[in-house]
Amino acid sequence: MPAIAARGLVKTYGKQRALDGLTIEVPEGTVFGLLGPNGAGKSTTIKILTTLTAPDSGTAHVVGHDVTRNPGRVRLAIGCVSQKISVDPWATGRENLVLHGGLYGMRPRDLRRRADELLERFDLKAAADRLTRTYSGGMQRKLDVAMGLIHRPKVLFLDEPTTGLDPEARAAMWTEIAALSRDEGLTILLTTHYLEEADKLASTLAIVDRGRVVALGTPEGLKSELRGDAVQVELAEAGDAMRAQRALERLTTEITAAGRSLRARADDGAAAVPAVLAALDAAGVAVLSVTVARPSLDDVYLRHAGRVFEEVAA
Give 75 or 170: the residue with its C-beta nearer to another protein. Answer: 75
Q: Judged by CB, which is closer to another protein: 13, or 294?
A: 13
DSSP SS3 for 26: strand
Integer Cα distance of 68 and 233 in angstroms: 50
Does residue 89 interact with another protein by CB under 8 A?
Answer: yes
User: Any contact of residue 114 with another protein (CB under 8 A)?
Assistant: no
**Region binding another protein by CB under 8 A among candidate stretches 20-28, 98-106, 119-127, 211-219:** 98-106
Shortest approach of another protein to residue 83 CB, angstroms? Answer: 8
Binding-site string for another protein from residue 16 to residue 55, where x marks contact by CB under 8 A and - marks none:
-------------------------------x--xxxxxx
Residues 267 and 271: their CA atoms lie apart, in Å, by 9
Provide the minimum distance between the beta carbon of 296 and another protein in the complex, in angstroms, as a whole number: 32
Q: What angle do CA 190, 195, 200 make, to 5 degrees?
A: 65
Q: If binding is defined by CB under 8 A, does position 104 make contact with another protein?
A: yes
Distances 8 to 19, 59, 192, 247 between C-alpha atoms, Å: 9, 7, 21, 43
Q: Which is nearer to another protein, 14 or 167 (CB)?
A: 14
Of 8, 21, 102, 164, the one binding another protein (CB under 8 A) is: 102
Q: How far is the CB of 81 from another protein (least distance, A)?
A: 8
Q: How far is CA 190 from CA 32, 112, 138, 155, 178, in A?
A: 6, 28, 18, 11, 11
Nearer to another protein, 57 or 224 (CB): 57
Minimum distance of another protein from residue 11's CB (angstroms): 10
Q: Binding to another protein by residue 131, rule CB under 8 A? A: yes
Cβ distance 150 to 163 under 8 Å? Answer: no
**Residue type (1 letter), 114:** R
> What is the rounded CA–CA span in Å between residue 186 and residue 199?
19
CB 2 within 8 A of CB 27: yes
Sheet with 155-159, side-by-side order of all strands = 78-81, 155-159, 187-192, 31-35, 204-209, 212-217
User: Residue 46 CB, nearest distance to another protein (Å)?
Assistant: 10
- What's the DSSP call for residue 267? S
- Is there binding between residue 7 and another protein (CB under 8 A)? no
Site for another protein in 66-85 (CB under 8 A): 67-68, 70-73, 75-76, 78, 80, 82-85
Is residue 95 a contact residue for another protein (CB under 8 A)? Answer: yes
The helix (H) or strand (E) run that includes residue 265 is strand 261-266
Query: Whole-angstrom Cα distance, residue 34 to residue 214?
Result: 11
Residues 144 to 173 in contact with another protein, rule: CB under 8 A: 147
**Total residues binding another protein (CB under 8 A):** 37
Binding footprint of another protein on the chain (CB under 8 A): 47, 50-56, 67-68, 70-73, 75-76, 78, 80, 82-91, 95, 99-100, 102-105, 131, 147
